[in-house]
Amino acid sequence: MAYQTIEVRKLTPTIGAEIFGVDLAKPLGNQQFQEVHDALMDNLVVFFRDQKMSIDQHKDFGRRFGPLHVHPNAPIAFKDHPEILVIKADEKSKHVAGEEWHSDVSCDVEPPMGSILYLTEVPPNGGDTLFANMYRAYETLSGPIKQLLQGLTALHDSSKAHYYRVKATDRDDIKFPNAEHPVVRTHPVTGKQGLYVNRGFTLRIPQLKRNESDALLEMLYRHIETPEFQCRFKWQANSVAFWDNRCAQHHAMFDYFPSRRYGHRVTVCGDKPFYRAA
Ligand code: SIN
């Protein structure tokens, strides 16, 4: 793809690219917006270095791609900015958000299209994020397995990912959303098909017996984790990652305890997943 307003350098042939020549604190012109969008569609996750964004600028950048999402179960850190999800770890952390491979908030009926994470504090080493290409994960399955998956749905439930993140005293009052989505999802922009089950949120495939569902999901989770579908992003302070939740999964590596890692995530609303035969 030829770009005129940005430079795009691929991290791997399969997924991930760094974008140069954009100041995310400034409103993007139409052509630059289109090129960033195209680079995201082409690479599934894009990265920017050396950005300085206020909360409002971060939200404005996200809003270019759609309305902003408010997390159903995470505490609101900034009263005036419920769309900001704080990603934080320090010497008190036992876990961090996103340690399992997942697609963000797939428990929503209309899960987010994309997520834009801006880290301002990073550990001296470690704390990378891994991303995996779900088109490749689907394409590389054998024909009979593809055939089987095309007719199936899966239940995704927020409690699987968020139950222990919610204060014990709040758990009875809080609603943990859940939703049923096709196991193979057609991307609404590219028209390509990708696997849409993830260890973080998916509970079971209701059309199958419990043991069949567990075995099939475990096989798919292991397949999704194949290293050749992945890239690994090394953060620096003021880096930004923007991923497409409809065709990529990610995994936050928590290998830096007790160092600090801090940033804000803005999440862009998406639509109801569907499957359309190719
Ligand atoms: C997330 O799942 O949004 C967190 C990713 C990260 O902290 O690298």
DSSP assignment of 75-137, as one string? PPSSTT-TTPEEEEE-TT-S--TT-S-B-TTTTSSS--SEEEEEEEE--SS---EEEEEHHHH
159 has pLDDT over 90: no
Catalytic pick from 58, 71, 102, 199? Answer: 102
> Would you say the pTM of this structure is higher than 0.85?
yes
Looking up tokens 């320090």 gives 90
Q: Averaged over 203-209, what is the pLDDT?
A: 97
| b/e 60-81 (16+ beta carbons within 10 angstroms → b) | bbbeebeebbebebbeeeeeeb
CB 212 within 8 A of CB 201: no
The half-sphere exposure of 28 on its side-chain side, counting CA atoms within 13 A, is: 22
Distance 99 CA to ligand 1 centre (A): 8
Q: How would you classify the pairing of strands 17-20 and 45-48?
A: parallel
Ligand 1 atom nearest to CA at 250 = 2
> How confident is the model over 112-134, as pLDDT tens digits?
999 999 999 999 999 999 999 99
Q: Would you call 181 a catalytic residue per the annotation?
A: no
User: Would you state the pLDDT for residue 278?
Assistant: 81
Specify the 3-state DSSP secondary structure of 19: strand
Tell me if residue 265 is catalytic.
yes
Q: How far is the CA of 278 from the centre of ligand 1 (A)?
A: 32
Residue 173 in this model has a pLDDT that exceeds 70: no
- Closest C-alpha residue for ligand 1 atom 3: 98
DSSP character at residue 59: H
Helix or strand holding residue 39 (H, E): helix 30-43
Per-residue pLDDT tens for 103-114? Answer: 999 999 999 999
Work out the burial of residue 235: count CB atoms within 10 Å of its CB; fewer than 13 is exposed, 13-18 middle, 19 or more buried.
buried
Integer Cα distance of 213 and 219 in angstroms = 10
User: Is a pLDDT exceeding 80 seen at residue 166?
Assistant: no
Q: Kindly report the number of other CB atoms within 10 A of residue 153's CB atom.
A: 18
Which of 119, 265, 268 has most ligand 1 atoms within 8 Å of CB, for mutation? Answer: 265
How many angstroms separate the alpha carbon of residue 109 from the centre of ligand 1? Answer: 21
pLDDT in tens, 213-254: 999 999 999 999 999 999 999 999 999 999 999 999 999 999
What backbone phi and psi angles, to 5 degrees, belong to 102? -160, 170
Q: For position 141, what pLDDT does the model report?
A: 98
Q: Evaluate the omega torsion of the peptide bond into residue 82 and state whether it is cis, within 30 degrees of 0.
A: no
Task: Summarize pLDDT for 51-68 with one digit per residue, the tens.
Answer: 999 999 999 999 999 999
Give CA 72 to chain center in angstroms: 16
Amino acid, single-letter form, for residue 193: Q
Q: What angle do CA 133, 137, 143 make, to 5 degrees?
A: 150
Place of tokens 């054998």: 142
Domains and their CATH numbers in the chain: 7-268 (3.60.130.10)
Contact between 104 and 269 under an 8 Å Cβ cutoff? The reply is no
Ligand 1, from 47, 83, 87: best to mutate by most atoms within 8 Å of Cβ? 87
Does the annotation mark 102 as catalytic?
yes
Residue whose CA is at the smallest distance from ligand 1 atom 4: 98
For a ligand 1 pocket test, name from 85, 93, 115, 259 the mutation site with the most ligand atoms within 8 angstroms of its C-beta. Answer: 115
pLDDT number for residue 160? 77
